[in-house]
Amino acid sequence: MMRAAVIGGGISGIATAFYLMQRNIEVDLYESAPRIGGRIGSERLDNRWVDFGGKNVGKNYRRFREFVTACGIADYEYFGFNTSQIINGRVVRINKEGARLLNTLRFMSLCGFDGIRKLYPHVQAILKDRSQGVLNSDYFNRVADKFDHTSLAGYLKEPCLSHIARPVTVRMNGAEPDECSPGNFGSNLALVLDSYEQLKPDMHGMLDAFQEFAVEGSLRILSGHRVTSLSRDPGSPLIKLGYLHQGVAETAVYDRVISALPALRLGFLLEGILPQASALLRKVRYYPVAIAIVKYHHNVFTSSQRAMVFDHTYPLSNAGAYGINDLNLVRYTFSGRASRSVISETTSAEEVIALGESIAGPWFSIRDNQRESFAYRYITEGLCAYSPMHYRLLHEIDQQLDQFAGFGATGDYRRGASIEACFRAAGECVETLLRDKH
């Protein structure tokens, strides 16, 4: 039986292991943290688990939904799309629950004429063929060829830039529009065109279900195992993997190895053996994000106004209800340039939350609402913002990785950072690697 190792137990690694298991391959999944999940990881908040990272599941997340069903989970709860922003001192709300025509008109006025003219063909391309709404798709590679000499800020004009593009890029890429490229914007637009649900047993429950599923299959989950080196096993076609477990260095050999690490992490791992690939991988940009989930005594939101995005002058990019029935639980997200200038790894959770409360306070019931508990996480490489002409960079990376037979790489920088895009990239990587006859 073929043996494979997957490095990284985030959703990309989980997806890779899942697809390898479907091909009857024996898999070892290496995760450096004590528990799998990576950026979809959870933490306790009083008597429940709360998810910090990806938790919104699009209606168009076909691959992820198939996976979840295979793990025995079938329950979702509606989350929808409900947000608002302050324009000229007034709250402008957009959601998919209210009057459709009114929302469309609001959306169009936020886009402006130039925004409609530029984005409409992209929206049409995605609606016609959903598989185009990812990185490295034929349609958006052509957009990159034409427009990636400039940033998204150079490509779009006001009001579209501030009211449509920026809320999306700070949320999904942790980056300002001048740090993003038009050719990559399709992977964001596809998410805006989706409508969302959340798993009833949350992401933590999904991870538990996956671990049970793994026990029944040919997968070993090696949590607390940090991969430290990769090399060709001398005199054999196998790949030798070095790892650290409880402070002890060990090795193991495999027929195939797939990295499901963020590009930057893989870049560091390959530094010694594939320096050119390593340098290219480190060109992919990641930006930090801080997330605070705070429980208040009374409801903060109403069911019709559940979130607000803030402009580039604020370190708080978004404050929203944790779930449709969690109107007293606020998820504060800090990302973008202003956030980077005031929040770092060393900033305390209390300071960050106080900052969020001072910004969102005037708009929601926060000021006289008692804070009961909170959970907080700062992720240094939190959100991927890819690179200009990203598809060409991916091509160059693959040319370098081809020198290392039996090795493949997937992750959030391949097809986009959404959970569904991570599944798509993982499936494609497994297909390619198993076709590889080296």
Ligand X SMILES: Cc1cc2nc3c(=O)[nH]c(=O)nc-3n(C[C@H](O)[C@H](O)[C@H](O)COP(=O)(O)OP(=O)(O)OC[C@H]3O[C@@H](n4cnc5c(N)ncnc54)[C@H](O)[C@@H]3O)c2cc1C
* Of the residues 5, 6, 8, 355, which one makes contact with ligand X according to CB under 6 A: 8
Interaction pattern, residues 218-257, with ligand X; x per rule: CB under 6 A: --------xx------------------------------
Interaction pattern, residues 42-81, with ligand X; x per rule: CB under 6 A: -----------xxxx-------------------------
Closer residue to ligand X, CB minimum distance, 33 or 349: 33
267 binds ligand X (CB under 6 A): no
Radius of gyration for the alpha carbons in the chain, expressed in angstroms and rounded? 22
Which residues, 6+ apart, have CB-to-CB distance to 396 below 8 Å? 280
419 binds ligand X (CB under 6 A): yes
* Of the residues 5, 12, 274, 332, which one makes contact with ligand X according to CB under 6 A: 12
In angstroms, rounded to a whole number, what is the distance separating the alpha carbons of residues 391 and 187? Answer: 12
Nearest distance from C-beta of residue 169 to ligand X, angstroms: 13
Closer residue to ligand X, CB minimum distance, 339 or 369: 339
Nearest distance from C-beta of residue 53 to ligand X, angstroms: 4
Closer residue to ligand X, CB minimum distance, 11 or 135: 11
Give the tokens for residue 205: 């429950």
In angstroms, rounded to a whole number, what is the distance separating the alpha carbons of residues 94 and 305? Answer: 9
382 binds ligand X (CB under 6 A): yes
32 binds ligand X (CB under 6 A): yes
List the beta bridge partners of residue 250.
243
Question: Residues binding ligand X: what is the number (CB under 6 A)?
Answer: 35
Exposure string over 37-53, b if 16+ CB within 10 A, otherwise e: bbbbbbeebeeebbbbb
Q: Which stretch binds ligand X (CB under 6 A): 142-150, 307-315, 336-344, 416-424?
A: 416-424
Q: In the 8-state DSSP scheme, what is residue 363?
A: G
Closest CA relative to residue 362, chosen from 25, 91, 37:
91
Q: In the 8-state DSSP scheme, what is residue 353?
A: H
Nearest distance from C-beta of residue 263 to ligand X, angstroms: 9
3-state secondary structure of 69: helix
Q: Which stretch binds ligand X (CB under 6 A): 26-34, 80-88, 105-113, 361-369?
A: 26-34
* Of the residues 144, 422, 429, 433, which one makes contact with ligand X according to CB under 6 A: 422
For the purposes of burial, counting CB atoms within 10 Å of the CB of 238, is it exposed (0-12), middle (13-18) or buried (19 or more)?
Answer: middle
In angstroms, rounded to a whole number, what is the distance separating the alpha carbons of residues 307 and 228? Answer: 42
First to last CA, the chain: 17
| Angle at the Cα of 362 from the Cα atoms of 108 and 110, rounded to 5 degrees | 10
Closer residue to ligand X, CB minimum distance, 111 or 289: 289
Nearest distance from C-beta of residue 229 to ligand X, angstroms: 10
9 binds ligand X (CB under 6 A): yes
11 binds ligand X (CB under 6 A): yes
Interaction pattern, residues 291-330, with ligand X; x per rule: CB under 6 A: x---------------------------------------
Half-sphere exposure for 242 (CA within 13 Å, toward CB): 11
Closer residue to ligand X, CB minimum distance, 369 or 410: 410
* Contact predicate 396/313, CB 8 Å: no
In angstroms, rounded to a whole number, what is the distance separating the alpha carbons of residues 335 and 312? Answer: 10
Residue the block writes with tokens 């402009």: 311
- Residues contributing to the site for ligand X (CB under 6 A): 7-13, 30-33, 38-40, 53-56, 226-227, 260-262, 265, 289, 291, 379, 382-383, 411-412, 417-419, 422
